[in-house]
């Protein structure tokens, strides 16, 4: 707090006092509203409830009297007047019950009210019977019904009403006590706030008194500083002239450096363009290598297919062998058929005239057997020739497929190696391109920095010129500062020392 300005201290103190006053005002208003709330609660809920309960009791008494008067009426005209009065009193009690319901504030009170209404409904129903008996002149029966039923209900209702009156009386007393407590608390709070305000005012006076001593010391220091400032201004003027000469030489050197950096930037740009072109070429070569590799994969797959076909040819050789075996079986059957045909011819010759027809059949069977044997022999010869040719084809195809697969595998490996080499080359070119790009960025940053240095040098040169002018003005201002310090001293102390 000691390092804060006098204005800050005064403003802070005034603001604190205003805040305290505002808080106290708000608190007072809230407490007054709260007290008025308790008073309004007493006025709006507790006292009306007590009034209605007492009025309810009075009307019960009047209703009971009207009931008795109906029974003891001397003539029909009087009885009719008492019945009308009884109806009005019953309706008024109904209205009081509905009105009281609006002022119920607790569950206990609500239970008592419900009990009262229940007893009232029973009493009203019995009272109607009693009135009817009174109209009929059955006074004795009506009095018996009163003694046995309605008297007990009346007593219960009176107890309930007294209970409701007590509940509302206690509520009114409690609300009044709360209002009184709030008033006491508000009074004590206001006393505390007034005391705090007085204490803060005393602190403000002490702060002002202390600050005035600090202001006096500051004025003395200001006078001393004005003299020192004058000396510094003279020294600053000499230094500004020397600085201006140095900055001029520095500006010339910076111009030469900027020209060299521009040449380097041009060379780096050309390197970047070459690296970009190399990257494009390497990418195209990589794509071609990938296409060749895909072609070799398809070629390898085709060779595998041919090899599978060769295997199928070997299966055909097996099938031809099976046909050869079946043909041998046919030849065996043909030989046996010829033998059977010969035996049949012999037997038919023995049979004589009866066996001629059978002999013709046996001869035809023999002829067919010979023809079948001849066809089987031709088929077997063709099968043997086919088997030899297939075996020759298999041998030739097998050798060529093996050779083609070997060459294809070697070509595939060569393409893989070429693809890897191109990928490595592309990676290296990317690295060169990235390095060149970073180098270009670095050179640009250097060029930008040199431009900024050049501007800063020009600004420094202008600043040094301005500093020389400012140092002259500073000497003049130091004289004015001394005069101002004396004026402040006169304002604070009242006399120049």
And the tokens for 282?
């390497």
Tell me if residue 64 falls in helix, strand or coil. Answer: helix
Query: Which of 25-34, 233-242, 296-305 is least confident?
Result: 233-242
Query: Which of 146-150, 152-156, 162-166, 287-291 is least confident?
Result: 287-291
Average confidence (pLDDT) over 39-50: 76
Residue 345 has pLDDT above 70, yes or no: yes
Nearest C-alpha neighbor of 331 from the set 380, 364, 298, 286: 380
First-last CA distance in the chain: 29
**Highest averaged pLDDT of the listed ranges 156-160, 307-311, 357-361, 372-376:** 156-160
Domain parsing of the chain, residue ranges: 6-211
Q: CB–CB of 464/244 below 8 Å?
A: yes
Please spell the DSSP secondary structure of 330-374, one letter per residue: HHHHHHHHHHHHHHHHHHHHHHGGGGHHHHHHHHHHHHHHHHHHH
- CA dihedral 65→71→72→73, nearest 10 degrees, is 100
Q: CB–CB of 450/260 below 8 Å?
A: no
pLDDT (tens digit per residue) in 379-434? 778 878 877 877 777 677 777 767 777 767 876 777 678 678 767 767 876 786 78
Average confidence (pLDDT) over 44-48: 78
Average confidence (pLDDT) over 1-19: 73
Distance in angstroms (rounded) separating the CA atoms of residues 50 and 47: 5
Residue 496 has pLDDT above 50, yes or no: no
And the tokens for 146?
């009163």
Which residues, other chains included, contact 442 with Cβ-Cβ below 8 Å and sequence gap of 6+?
none
- Confidence bin at 493 (pLDDT 50/70/90): low
Q: Which fold has domain 6-211?
A: 1.20.120
Tell the residue number behind the tokens 């004795």, with chain if given. 140
What is the pLDDT at residue 247? Answer: 66
Percentage above 90 pLDDT, the chain: 3
What is the pLDDT at residue 471? Answer: 65
Average confidence (pLDDT) over 41-63: 84
Query: Which of 125-129, 203-207, 225-229 is least confident?
Result: 225-229
* Average pLDDT, rounded, for the chain: 77
Average confidence (pLDDT) over 487-493: 64
Helix then strand then coil, in percent of the chain rounded to 5, is: 95, 0, 5
pLDDT (tens digit per residue) in 262-297? 776 777 677 677 768 767 866 786 777 677 778 777
- CA dihedral 294→298→303→309, nearest 10 degrees, is 160
And the tokens for 206?
């002490």
And the tokens for 436?
């060149």
Nearest C-alpha neighbor of 151 from the set 64, 265, 39, 243: 64
The CA distances from residue 364 to 225, 341, 347, in Å, are 156, 8, 15
And the tokens for 156?
């219960």
Output 32 or 313, whichever has higher pLDDT: 32
């Amino acid at each position: 707090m000691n390092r804060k300005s006098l204005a800050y201290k005064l403003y802070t103190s005034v603001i604190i006092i205003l805040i305290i006053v505002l808080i106290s005002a708000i608190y007072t208003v809230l407490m007054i509203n709260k007290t008025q709330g308790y008073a309004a609660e007493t006025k709006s809920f507790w006292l009306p409830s007590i009034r209605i309960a007492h009025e309810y009791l009075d009307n019960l008494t009047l209703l009971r009297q009207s009931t008795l008067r109906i029974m003891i009426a001397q003539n029909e005209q009087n009885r009719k007047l008492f019945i009308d009065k009884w109806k009005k009193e019953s309706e008024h009690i109904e209205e009081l019950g509905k009105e009281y319901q609006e002022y119920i504030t607790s569950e206990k009170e609500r239970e008592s009210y419900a009990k009262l209404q229940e007893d009232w409904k029973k009493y009203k129903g019995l009272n109607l019977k009693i009135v009817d008996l009174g109209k009929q002149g059955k006074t004795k029966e009506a009095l018996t019904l009163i003694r046995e039923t309605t008297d007990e209900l009346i007593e219960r209702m009176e107890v309930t009403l007294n209970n409701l009156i007590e509940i509302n009386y206690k509520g009114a007393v409690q609300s009044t006590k709360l209002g009184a407590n709030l008033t006491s608390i508000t009074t004590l709070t206001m006393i505390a706030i007034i005391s705090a305000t007085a204490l803060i005012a005393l602190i403000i006076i002490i702060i002002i008194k202390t600050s005035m001593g600090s202001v006096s010391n500051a004025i003395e220091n200001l006078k001393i500083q004005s003299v020192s400032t004058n000396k510094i201004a003279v020294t600053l003027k000499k230094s500004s002239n020397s600085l201006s000469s140095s900055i001029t030489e520095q500006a010339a050197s910076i111009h030469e450096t900027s020209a060299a950096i521009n040449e380097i930037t041009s060379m780096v740009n050309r390197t970047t363009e070459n690296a970009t072109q190399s990257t494009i070429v390497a990418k195209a070569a990589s794509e071609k290598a990938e296409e060749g590799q895909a072609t070799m994969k398809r070629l390898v797959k085709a060779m595998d297919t041919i090899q599978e076909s060769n295997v199928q040819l070997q299966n055909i050789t097996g099938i031809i062998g099976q046909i050869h075996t079946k043909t041998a079986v046919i030849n065996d059957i043909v030989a046996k058929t010829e033998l059977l045909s010969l035996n049949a011819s012999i037997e038919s010759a023995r049979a004589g005239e009866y066996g001629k027809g059978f002999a013709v059949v046996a001869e035809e069977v023999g002829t067919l057997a010979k023809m079948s044997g001849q066809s089987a022999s031709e088929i077997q010869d063709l099968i043997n020739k086919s088997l030899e040719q297939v075996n020759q084809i298999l041998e030739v195809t097998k050798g060529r497929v093996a050779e083609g697969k070997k060459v294809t595998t070697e070509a595939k490996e060569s393409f893989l190696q070429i693809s890897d080499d191109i990928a490595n080359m592309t990676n290296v070119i990317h690295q060169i391109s990235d390095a060149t790009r970073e180098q270009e960025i670095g050179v640009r940053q250097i060029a930008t920095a040199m431009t900024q240095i050049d501007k800063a040098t020009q600004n420094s040169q202008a600043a040094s010129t301005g500093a020389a002018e400012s140092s002259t003005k500073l000497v003049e201002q130091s004289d004015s500062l001394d005069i101002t310090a004396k004026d402040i001293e006169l304002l604070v102390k009242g006399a120049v020392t």
